Amino acid sequence: MKIVALVAAAVLIAGCSSKDKERQTRSTAAGNLSITTAFAPESLRKGSEMLTVTLKDATGAPVKGAIVKVDTTMPSMSMPGPSVAAHNNGDGSYSARLALQYATRWQFAVSATAAGKTATAHITADVK
């Protein structure tokens, strides 16, 4: 009986952590660009949050020198949130500090333009 309870607990914990990870890290391919996004910390809270965007080309090589923008909205409040130009980290990754002032569902539209090509990724996440 104890073994069954331990196995059930392990499955529950693994399911929760993989769901959080899935919610926080997204990959989208558009044309020749691939966008991967990740929040830090992974559990979104009201206040300042960091979104890291990683760009790769069709061969999987990092895309440096892109213009990356993040636009946010809060659909349940019918309001826009902040729009931020991401900082180029020089290695194919880009960082955007977002001021998430309300505990609600947020939508994030990430656009990246490099070498005349544009890719977008859309993320929906709950902020607590």
**pLDDT computed for residue 29 by the predictor:** 58
Q: Are 98 and 70 in contact (CB under 8 A)?
A: yes
- Give pLDDT, residue 43: 77
Q: How far is CA 41 from the centre of its chain?
A: 11
pLDDT value of position 19:
40
Tell me the pLDDT band of 15, cut-offs 50, 70 and 90: very low
Instruction: Tell whether the model's pLDDT for residue 112 goes beyond 90.
Output: yes
pLDDT over threshold 90, residue 46: no
The CA distances from residue 23 to 26, 66, 71, 74, 122, in Å, are: 7, 25, 18, 17, 12
C-beta separation of 24 from 39 below 8 A: yes
Span 1-14, pLDDT tens digits: 333 332 333 333 33
45: pLDDT confidence band, cut at 50, 70 and 90? confident
Residue ranges of domains in the chain? 26-126
What is the residue whose two structure tokens read 């929906």? 124
For residue range 47-98, what is the model confidence (pLDDT) as tens digits? 889 999 999 998 999 999 999 999 999 988 888 888 999 999 999 999 999 9
Beta strands (DSSP E) in 25-104 are 25-30, 33-40, 47-56, 67-74, 79-85, 87-88, 93-100
CATH fourth-level superfamily of 26-126: Immunoglobulins (2.60.40.10)
């213009």: which residue's tokens? 67
